[in-house]
Structures are given as structure tokens and as C-alpha cells.
């Protein structure tokens, strides 16, 4: 009989000579133990290590590698060999050699003993051969199921939940209190108009369109039915994540900046239409289309020709659509300005000029004539802009480019965040997320109203940071500001219910920003979120004010007035030629270590975007609302005018919250209408969710059983679960869970490693030759090397085994007994699962 007692947790594992008995503190640990018994006939000492590790994962409040254990062991079989059948193992924590009690906050930490104790138990399991008991598992095999458990998540135990509040603001490694079940096979759309969602659904079901193709299609639709906010006369920011790229060691992230740009001779306030920036939408669409073609490198095949992206939208503009509530509401702001719309029935309109323009765009191909010398669209636009004395020249349009680069990656709640970098304000969202993460434990002990006050103060930091983001000085210290998120969280928790200054915040943890900025109001936008499987796009489009400059093109759209968003001369966002004004745009994507997009969020609403997005995010993550309820809940945010803050709330907030602000001496300014237009999607929880904002109209499409897929070249090594962070002109580094490099080529000072590297390169070269012979040669009509029934997966695994076996005497790389040695990144370990290996 084996009995192990952990003095802190008091869990017991009992294995009887004629029975298999397990008793643990978590069902998942019992299940893992049962799995190892039935699959591998594991011995009690092996099970002790396995189940104790599991307990440390699901009950980290009681046990784990940072502690220790006592074990009592009895093996009756030893008596057959005249060996004492009993053992006691002491792996408890021990005081340091220079220990002085009460010498500081962490002076009572003892030397951890768990791992050394596991080493002893494993050694004993090997020595149990002397008692006739054969060990069945290699050391590394003891941890495979627990690695999966820690990566994919578990249902919190009652005691985990009960003890959570005791953690307070202490940093922790846990992803989410809610159960996380990520479904990588969902189709999710959220738009600002039902007709646009319907068109997206049509292209998914009819053509299996990719997210980048859908981004062009749906954004074009939004420009038709919500021309007061977006269209070909404006621009957009897009955040793109393609988890399938990681199968090919390609960075899965991109951010695309197709925002409007100031002309080369720009002078602010030089005339009625001097704030029209160079339109970027069509050039941005060209970039998205080009990227969709290049996604073949990630195994994602494009499904549509350029011209096919516009067919349904041409019909929509020709035949008409029902006006959206926001179209109707903003109609009066157009005044007497000329427009291209034709009323065809009560509440139904069409735009034949735009339909004709769309037909031309579709037929001229992805490289629009707007950006070509002597192009038809270019001539038309230049004639119109010259007629109103715009500062824009032909060269300004011809020279316009769309930057697309790898996204900056930051961690929050153990997810990677990517989003709108400059001229966007995604950095503000990152700071807010990190502050909430630092305070998460304590927030669960507060009332709903107290949590809202905390959120309001986080927004004060986010809004105070935003106007500084274009400053090079601030960009250089941004990571330090993120690193001080816990300091900021503690400060807010200690002061959120006390009076505060109405001036913008200048101190961010240990960083003080002294620059002079102005908090300027911005105006309308539209945001869409698109996801198919592991491929996601969050995209925010704008022409700035409602109807932009109110200058209507004969082509059927409105020109922007984006250059009104520049600030004062001398500020980071000062007016400059060839510059793009800063925006509150925050098109965000959070993705997991498994490279699944788990949350997409963005908003319309000008300067209120930051507040609207964060209200929804906070309600969803902290208040544990559904995504729809989180999005529709009443909102509060700080509102700045002339550097003076007002508490700005929707009038639907509850009385208890109103009283909280009143008790602090803060007068609430109630919004005349509900603000912000957030669209979001999530797979954080058991089912996929998507939400549009009832404040703006819209709709969603959710298909939990997507048929979207990407091909994977199985003969190439796959990255581990950690996200890839690659900078331009550098080779991707694959990191393990501890953050150490698994790229053996980096160890240039180790002769053995260098020898292995040369051998690895020889193996890869050999494999490439065989890959070409096996896969490329047959495609050219020659004879196959392998039997037809041999799959590429099997061939790839077989090649690796044969090549490694041939070179084994020359190399320290080896295939160990049992599962393949996954420390060797040359192997694709999941091609030969642990459960399928043969044991001697």
C-alpha cells in the first residue's frame, strides 16, 4: 500500500495489492490517474508524482513546486525478496542557513522540496525492480497530461474559488477565473448594419471567403449604408491575426495603416476644405487583397477574384437599402450639401453613382486608377479637389502608401494583445488591461459600483496617456509604464472612493510625463470584426465628422476632413505635412498560446471609442457578463474639455452608482444620447459570442461549426504553443513555457550543440530533397517514391525516424524509449502522439 500525505492539503493516494484505489481533491486529477493506470499500468510511485503535480495545478492555493511534501510508502511485494517494505520520504521545506525570523515580508519562504522529492520518488520507482515491480514510464512521460491540463484549462475547484480573494493584488499566472474553452472552428461576424452581415454570411456560405476578403466586402458595404461615417473618401486601420501562419514559422500578426494623410504642402485652417486628407481606403483594400493572396504561404487559399468582391455591393447600391437609424439621425447635419442619394421608397434609398464607381473599381483590378497617373479615378478626384481649392496635389495621391507591419505584442491575462498602433491608440487599451489584470483578485471582493469606480479611474489613465502616444519620449518609456501597471492598480484601489483632481494625469507609476497636450474631440467611425477559425480581422473605418468634409464626389462618396484631428503646434500631434493625425481607434485582438483568437473588440464613436471599448471589456472580463449584456450595459467615462475632466455617463446608470459619485463630490454630466458603437466577438467561454451595439444598430453572424480550414505542410517543424514574436529582418525564435530559447542555433559556444546543428542542417537538407522527390515530382507526372496509400503525415514522421536512426551514432539527438524526444525541434512531436508509442 502507498500513502502520501501533503501536510498542507492532506490529500491521500491509496493503491491496494488487489485493487486500484485513488482518492484526490479534484476529479480531473483522479481522471488523469485513472488514465495512466488503464493506458500504461503506472506504478504507485509514478502515480504519486503525476497526481501530486495535478493537484499543484488545480489547487495552487495549497500545493505546488514552491512547497514540499511528506510521503509514507509501503510495498508488500518487497517482502518476497526479504527487503523492508516501508519507506518514509521527507521533502518538506527547510529554513535557509542564515535564517532570521520576521526579517521581512518574504523572510519565511523555505527552501522548496517538491521537485527534489519527485526526483527521489522517481529514483525509488526505478529501484523497485529489486522487489519485482517494473517501472512503466520515462520521467518526461509523467508530465504530458498535466502539461495539456495547464495549457487547455480546468474548471476551478470550490476551494480555489473560495480562496481567490485572499490573493488580493498579488501577480498570478492564471488566465481567467471563467472557464476557458476556445473553439477554433467558429465563424463570427459583427457589423453596424444587418444587410452587411447578410452579405458577409452569403460570401461565407457560397464561396467560403477568407477573413481578408470579407474585410473588403463588409467594409465596402458599410461605406454604402453608413456613408456618414466611412467610405472611399476616408481611410481605415486594420488589425489582422492568422494563427495558421504559425504552422509555417511565419509571424501571425499584421497591422495595416490606411488612414488619411496630410498633403506635402499642408497648412491648417487654410480654407473650407483644407482639412481633406489623402484618401486611403482603396489603397488599403489593395493591400488587404495582396495579403489575401500571400496567405497561401500560411496554407490559406484565397477563394475570390478581385472583381468578385464587389458584385453583391454593386447590387446593393443599385437596388437600394433601408436607411439605418444613424443614417436617418445624421441626415440633418448634411444640410444643403449636394449628395448622391436617391429616395426610391419610404425609408429606402439607393446610390447609383457609387454603384457605377464600384463597377469601375471591380473591373480595373486591385491597383486602383485613383493612385495611377492618368487613371480615370485619379483625374476625377483631382478635378473635384482643385475646384474647391484643396491643398492636395496629384503627387500626394500618387505617392500615398499603406504601411503593413508585424504587430507589437504585449501580454495580459496570459493572452497576447495586438491592436492599432500609431496613429491609433491601442497602447491605451494595453495599459488598461494590465491595470485590471493586476487588480483582478481584489476586484472580485468589491461591489459592482466600487468596481465601476475602479474602471472609471483606469479610464482616466488611458485617456491621459492617449494624447502623448505620438511623442517619441513616451514611446521610449511605454514598456516601463506597462511594467508599473501593478503600482497604478494599487494606487487606484487605495484612492478610488476619494476626491481627485480634474486635471489629466501626468504620473504613470514611476514615469512622469510633462509634455503639453490638448484633449481634442474626435468624431464618427465604423468598426467590424471578422473571424473564421484561427483567422481574424478587426477593422475601424472613418471619414471623421459625420459626412466628413460634406464634399460629395461625383463618384458617390464623401471626402474626409480627417486633418481636423491635429492638435496645437508644439504638441506631439501637431499639424505636419505628410503626417497622419492621431486617433482613438483601437482595433484589438487577444489570442492564446494555442494561437487562437479569443477576443476581438473595436468601436465607433470618435474620442468616446476608448471609453466604450473598455466599458464593454471590463463588464465582460471582470463583471462576468455575457458579451451582449456587457456591450449594452450603461457606460461611464471621463470626458476632457480644455484639460478639465467631467464625469460623463449615460443616464441609464443605476442609482447606487450615481450616489457613489455624489458622495465623492463629483457631479455627473449625462450624455444626451447613448455613446459608442462597440462590435466584438469572443470564444473565451463555452460557446462563441458576438455582439453589435444597440446604440448604433447592426447584427451578428455566428456559426460554431465552420468549414473554414487551412492546409498544413506536415513535413516542417511546428512551433510550440507560445506565440511567435518576430521583428523584421530577424529569424523567428521559438520559446518554451519558461521563456528559454528552444532554437539550438543560438548556442554558438557549445561544441556539442554546434555539431548537432550541422547534423540538423544536413538532415533538413536531406529531408527537403526527399520532400521535393515525394511531393513535387509526382505533381509533374513522374513516379511516386512511396506507396500511394502512405499519407504525408506518415511519410514525414517516417522520414524523421529513418534519418535520425541513420545518424544516431554521430549525434546526441536521439529517439528515447516511449514518446519521441520533443526537446528536439527537428521533430514534429504531435505526429507521433505519446499514446501511440510502443513500449519495450
Q: How far, in Å, are 281, 599, 620 from residue 182 at the CA level?
A: 33, 10, 16
- From 191, 357, 442, 525, the catalytic residue: 525
Terminus-to-terminus CA distance in the chain, angstroms?
Answer: 26
Place of cell 485493487: 19
Q: How many CA atoms lie within 13 A of 454 on its CB side?
A: 29
Phi/psi of residue 433, each to 5°? -65, -45
Radius of gyration of the chain from Cα atoms? 31
Interior CA angle at 528 toward 526 and 534, to 5°?
160
Q: Which residues are annotated as a binding site?
A: 259, 542-544, 565, 583-584, 606
Please name every residue paired with 5 in a beta bridge, in sequence order, or none if there are none.
70
Q: Residue 674 corresponds to which cell in the numbers above?
A: 447613448
Please name every residue paired with 306 in a beta bridge, in sequence order, or none if there are none.
none
Residues contacting 608, CB < 8 A, separation 6+: 584, 637, 675, 676
Taking the C-alpha atoms of residue 558 and residue 548, their distance in angstroms, rounded to an integer, is 6
Q: Which helix (H) or strand (E) holds 636?
A: strand 636-641
Q: How many CA atoms lie within 13 A of 692 on its CB side?
A: 22
Taking the C-alpha atoms of residue 825 and residue 741, their distance in angstroms, rounded to an integer, is 11
Please name every residue paired with 668 in a beta bridge, in sequence order, or none if there are none.
647
Among 431, 420, 418, smallest CA distance to 464 is for 431
Taking the C-alpha atoms of residue 550 and residue 337, their distance in angstroms, rounded to an integer, is 6
In the 8-state DSSP scheme, what is residue 741? Answer: B
Query: Do residues 524 and 546 make contact, with C-beta atoms less than 8 angstroms apart?
Result: yes
Q: Residue 226 corresponds to which cell in the numbers above?
A: 453608413
Q: How far, in Å, are 631, 684, 727, 792 from residue 690 at the CA level?
A: 10, 11, 32, 37
Say if residue 275 is preceded by a cis peptide, omega within 30 of 0: no
Q: Residue 463 corresponds to which cell in the numbers above?
A: 485617456
Buried-state track 702-715, b at ≥16 Cβ within 10 A, e below 16: ebeebebebebebb
Query: Do residues 255 and 237 make contact, with C-beta atoms less than 8 angstroms apart?
Result: yes
Q: Which residues are annotated as a binding site for L-glutamate?
A: 259, 542-544, 565, 583-584, 606
Q: How far, in Å, are 114, 333, 457, 499 from residue 495 at the CA level?
A: 40, 43, 9, 8
Three-state DSSP class for residue 282:
helix
Active site residue 626: no
Q: How far, in Å, are 219, 244, 760, 799, 805 from residue 802 at the CA level?
A: 51, 28, 14, 5, 5
Taking the C-alpha atoms of residue 776 and residue 299, their distance in angstroms, rounded to an integer, is 17
Interior CA angle at 732 toward 296 and 600, to 5°?
65
Residues contacting 206, CB < 8 A, separation 6+: none
Cite the active site residues: 525
Amino acid at each position: 500500500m502507498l500513502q502520501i500525505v501533503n501536510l498542507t492539503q492532506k490529500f491521500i493516494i491509496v493503491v491496494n495489492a488487489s485493487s486500484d484505489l485513488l482518492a484526490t481533491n479534484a476529479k480531473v486529477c483522479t481522471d488523469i490517474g485513472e488514465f495512466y493506470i488503464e493506458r500504461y499500468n503506472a506504478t504507485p510511485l509514478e502515480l504519486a508524482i503525476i497526481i501530486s503535480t495535478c493537484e499543484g495545478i488545480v489547487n495552487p492555493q495549497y500545493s505546488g513546486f514552491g512547497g514540499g511534501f511528506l510521503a509514507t510508502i509501503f510495498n508488500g511485494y518487497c517482502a518476497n525478496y526479504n527487503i523492508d517494505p516501508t519507506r518514509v520520504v521527507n521533502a518538506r521545506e527547510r529554513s535557509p542557513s542564515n535564517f532570521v525570523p520576521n526579517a521581512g515580508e518574504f523572510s519565511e519562504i523555505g527552501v522548496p522540496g517538491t521537485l527534489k522529492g519527485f526526483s527521489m520518488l522517481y529514483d525509488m520507482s526505478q529501484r523497485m525492480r529489486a522487489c519485482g515491480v517494473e517501472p512503466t514510464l520515462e520521467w518526461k512521460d509523467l508530465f504530458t497530461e498535466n502539461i495539456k491540463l495547464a495549457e487547455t484549462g480546468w474548471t476551478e475547484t470550490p476551494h480555489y474559488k473560495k480562496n481567490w480573494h485572499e490573493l488580493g493584488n498579488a501577480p498570478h499566472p492564471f488566465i481567467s477565473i471563467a472557464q476557458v474553452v476556445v473553439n477554433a472552428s467558429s465563424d463570427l461576424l459583427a457589423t453596424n448594419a444587418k444587410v452587411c452581415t447578410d452579405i458577409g454570411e452569403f460570401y461565407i456560405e457560397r464561396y467560403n471567403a477568407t477573413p481578408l476578403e470579407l474585410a473588403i466586402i463588409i467594409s465596402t458595404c458599410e461605406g454604402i449604408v453608413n456613408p456618414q461615417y466611412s467610405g472611399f473618401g476616408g481611410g481605415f486601420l486594420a488589425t489582422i491575426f492568422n494563427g495558421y501562419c504559425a504552422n509555417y514559422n511565419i509571424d501571425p500578426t499584421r497591422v495595416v495603416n490606411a488612414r488619411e494623410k496630410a498633403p506635402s504642402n499642408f497648412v491648417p485652417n487654410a480654407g473650407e476644405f483644407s482639412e481633406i486628407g489623402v484618401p486611403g481606403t482603396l489603397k488599403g483594400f489593395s493591400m488587404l487583397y495582396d495579403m489575401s493572396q500571400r496567405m497561401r504561404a500560411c496554407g490559406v487559399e484565397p477563394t475570390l477574384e478581385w472583381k468578385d468582391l464587389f458584385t453583391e455591393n454593386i447590387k446593393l447600391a443599385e437596388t437600394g437599402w433601408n436607411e439605418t437609424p444613424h443614417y436617418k439621425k445624421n441626415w440633418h447635419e448634411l444640410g444643403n450639401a449636394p449628395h448622391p442619394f436617391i429616395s426610391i421608397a419610404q425609408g429606402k434609398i439607393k446610390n447609383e453613382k457609387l454603384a457605377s464607381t464600384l463597377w469601375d473599381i471591380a473591373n480595373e483590378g486591385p491597383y486602383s486608377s485613383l493612385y495611377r497617373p492618368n487613371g480615370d479615378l485619379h483625374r476625377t478626384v483631382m478635378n473635384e479637389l482643385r475646384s474647391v481649392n484643396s491643398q492636395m496635389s496629384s503627387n500626394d495621391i500618387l505617392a500615398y502608401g499603406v504601411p503593413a507591419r508585424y504587430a507589437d505584442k504585449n501580454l495580459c491575462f496570459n493572452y497576447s494583445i495586438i491592436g492599432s498602433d500609431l496613429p491609433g491608440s491601442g497602447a491605451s487599451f494595453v495599459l488598461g488591461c494590465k491595470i485590471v489584470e493586476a487588480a483582478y483578485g481584489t476586484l472580485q471582493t468589491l461591489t459592482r459600483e466600487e468596481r465601476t469606480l475602479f474602471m472609471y479611474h483606469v479610464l482616466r489613465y488611458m485617456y491621459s496617456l492617449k494624447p502623448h502616444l505620438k511623442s517619441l519620449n513616451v514611446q521610449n518609456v511605454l514598456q516601463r509604464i506597462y511594467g508599473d501597471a501593478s503600482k497604478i492598480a494599487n494606487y487606484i484601489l487605495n484612492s478610488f472612493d476619494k476626491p481627485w483632481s480634474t486635471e489629466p494625469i501626468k504620473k504613470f507609476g514611476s514615469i512622469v510625463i510633462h509634455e503639453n497636450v490638448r484633449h481634442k474631440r474626435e468624431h464618427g467611425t465604423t468598426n467590424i470584426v471578422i473571424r473564421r477559425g484561427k483567422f481574424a480581422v478587426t477593422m475601424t473605418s472613418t471619414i471623421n465628422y459625420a459626412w466628413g468634409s460634406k464634399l460629395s464626389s461625383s463618384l458617390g462618396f464623401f471626402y474626409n476632413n480627417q486633418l481636423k484631428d491635429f492638435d496645437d503646434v508644439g504638441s506631439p500631434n501637431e499639424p505636419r505635412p505628410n503626417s497622419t493625425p492621431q486617433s482613438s481607434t483601437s482595433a484589438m485582438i487577444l489570442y492564446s498560446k494555442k494561437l487562437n483568437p479569443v477576443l476581438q473588440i473595436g468601436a465607433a464613436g470618435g474620442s468616446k471609442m476608448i471609453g466604450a471599448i473598455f466599458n464593454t471589456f471590463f463588464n465582460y472580463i471582470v463583471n462576468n457578463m455575457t458579451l451582449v449584456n456587457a456591450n449594452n450595459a450603461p457606460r461611464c467615462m471621463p470626458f476632457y474639455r480644455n484639460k478639465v475632466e467631467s464625469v460623463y455617463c449615460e443616464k441609464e446608470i443605476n442609482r447606487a452608482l450615481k450616489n457613489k459619485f455624489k458622495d465623492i463630490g463629483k457631479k455627473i454630466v449625462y450624455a444626451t444620447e447613448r455613446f459608442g458603437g462597440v462590435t466584438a466577438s469572443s470564444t473565451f467561454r463555452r460557446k462563441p459570442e458576438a455582439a453589435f451595439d444597440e446604440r448604433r444598430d447592426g447584427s451578428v453572424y455566428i456559426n460554431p461549426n465552420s468549414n473554414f480550414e487551412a492546409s498544413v505542410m506536415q513535413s516542417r517543424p511546428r512551433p510550440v504553443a507560445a506565440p511567435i514574436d518576430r521583428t523584421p529582418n530577424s529569424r523567428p525564435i521559438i520559446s518554451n513555457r519558461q521563456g528559454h530559447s528552444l532554437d539550438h542555433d543560438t548556442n554558438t559556444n557549445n561544441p556539442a550543440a554546434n555539431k548537432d546543428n550541422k547534423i540538423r542542417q544536413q538532415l533538413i537538407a536531406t529531408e527537403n530533397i526527399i520532400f521535393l522527390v515525394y511531393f513535387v515530382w509526382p505533381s509533374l507526372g513522374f513516379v511516386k517514391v512511396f506507396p500511394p496509400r502512405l499519407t504525408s503525415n506518415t511519410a514525414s514522421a517516417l522520414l524523421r525516424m529513418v534519418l535520425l536512426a541513420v545518424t544516431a551514432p554521430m549525434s546526441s539527438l536521439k529517439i528515447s524509449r516511449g514518446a519521441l524526444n520533443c526537446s528536439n525541434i527537428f521533430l514534429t512531436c504531435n505526429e507521433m502522439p505519446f499514446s501511440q508509442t510502443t513500449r519495450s
